[in-house]
Every structure is written in structure tokens, then in C-alpha cells.
């Protein structure tokens, strides 16, 4: 018996197999943990499930998503190294294929997504520090110490990213 796929039931094309639906469902849920749009999980899931390279138009048709969603999703997936692009002679279309090696996926995600998020956290922590140091900010007692601790954790996280990336290259 095939279980219901509540996440993808209204978004996929009619020719989706139960196995493909299950893989899509898995990656859509995984994407949610990473705050990614559903379409990103669906795109990666379909490429992962089929093991084939597909064009943008094929992805749009199979998943029942807009060209804009597919294009944005592929851009994000390419940026983190989760999708590779190939070309075929005398064919003007790009063909996309899922990267299936876990270390490469983690390295790409850490390099692109986590580094950007840590950089944004730098800016937010500095704004927070500036605000609480203003005598008129109304900062509660002890907040400065707690923000110091946050900044310490943040510095450690920034040092950890390159170490994990180096470890994953082994």
C-alpha cells in the first residue's frame, strides 16, 4: 500500500512513481529543516530519485511547478553544489544532475549557506551590542554578559566551519 504524500500531492506531475514521490517527500521535509522552499526539496528529490540529468523544462513538467520556481531552486542548488550542470553537443539546453556524495553536499552547504548566515549574524550581533551599550536602551541587568556569551559562541562557530570543511575533504 502506498502512503499518502501530503507534502507533494498537489505539486507533482501525473507521471510521478510512488518511489519518486517518497524520495521527494523525504527531501521536502529535509529542506524544511534547512528553511528551504518546498520546490528546492522537490527538484533535488526528483534529480536524486531518477539519477538522470534533466532540463529545466523537464523538471517543470514532472513537478508541476512554475519555471520561475524551478529556475530559482536550481540556482540555489547549484550555488551550494547540490546540482551539477552538463551540456550536450548541439543542444542549447542545460542538463541538471544531483550531486549524491554527502561530503560534497555538506561542504557546499557550509561554504555557501552557513557562511552567509554567519556573516549576517556578525552584523546582527554588532547591532545588538551597539543597542545594549546605549544607556537609554533599557537593557535588563546581565544582558551584556549574555550577549558576550552569544558572541563567543558565534566566533567558535565561525572557526568550526573551515575545520569541518577540511575534515570532509579527507
State which residues form the domain around 34.
18-98
- Helix then strand count (H, E) for the chain reads 7, 2
Measured CA to CA, the distance from residue 109 to residue 77 in angstroms comes to 9
Whole-number average pLDDT of the chain: 83
Examine residue 10 and state whether it is found in any structural domain, yes or no.
no
Examine residue 111 and state whether it is found in any structural domain, yes or no.
yes
- In a shared domain, residues 90 and 160: no
CA nearest to 16, candidates 39, 50, 56, 66: 50
Confidence of residue 57 (pLDDT cuts 50, 70, 90): very high
Measured CA to CA, the distance from residue 86 to residue 52 in angstroms comes to 11
Residue 81 confidence (pLDDT): 84
Q: Would the pLDDT of 9 be above 80?
A: no
Instruction: Tell me the average pLDDT across 86-90.
Output: 88
- Lowest average pLDDT, out of 26-35, 76-85, 107-116, 129-138, goes to 107-116
3-state DSSP helix/strand/coil % of the chain, to nearest 5: 65, 10, 30
Q: Which three cell numbers stand for residue 133?
A: 551599550
- In a shared domain, residues 83 and 107: no
Beta bridge partners of 98: 83
Grid coordinates 533599557 are at which residue? Answer: 138
Measured CA to CA, the distance from residue 122 to residue 137 in angstroms comes to 20
Amino acid at each position: 500500500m502506498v502512503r499518502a504524500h501530503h507534502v507533494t500531492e498537489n505539486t507533482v506531475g501525473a507521471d510521478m512513481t510512488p518511489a519518486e514521490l517518497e524520495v521527494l517527500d523525504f527531501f521536502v521535509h529535509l529542506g524544511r529543516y534547512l528553511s528551504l522552499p518546498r520546490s528546492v526539496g522537490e527538484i533535488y528529490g526528483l534529480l536524486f530519485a531518477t539519477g538522470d540529468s534533466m532540463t529545466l523544462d523537464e523538471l517543470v513538467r514532472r513537478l508541476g511547478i512554475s519555471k520561475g520556481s524551478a529556475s530559482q531552486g536550481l540556482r540555489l542548488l547549484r550555488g551550494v553544489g547540490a546540482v551539477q550542470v552538463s551540456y550536450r553537443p548541439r543542444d542549447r539546453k542545460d542538463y541538471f544532475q544531483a550531486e549524491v556524495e554527502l561530503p560534497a553536499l555538506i561542504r557546499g552547504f557550509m561554504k555557501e549557506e552557513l557562511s552567509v548566515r554567519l556573516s549576517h549574524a556578525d552584523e546582527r550581533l554588532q547591532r545588538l551590542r551597539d543597542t545594549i551599550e546605549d544607556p537609554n536602551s533599557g537593557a535588563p541587568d546581565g544582558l551584556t554578559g549574555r550577549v558576550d556569551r552569544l558572541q563567543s559562541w558565534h566566533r567558535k562557530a565561525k572557526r568550526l566551519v573551515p575545520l569541518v570543511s577540511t575534515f570532509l575533504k579527507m
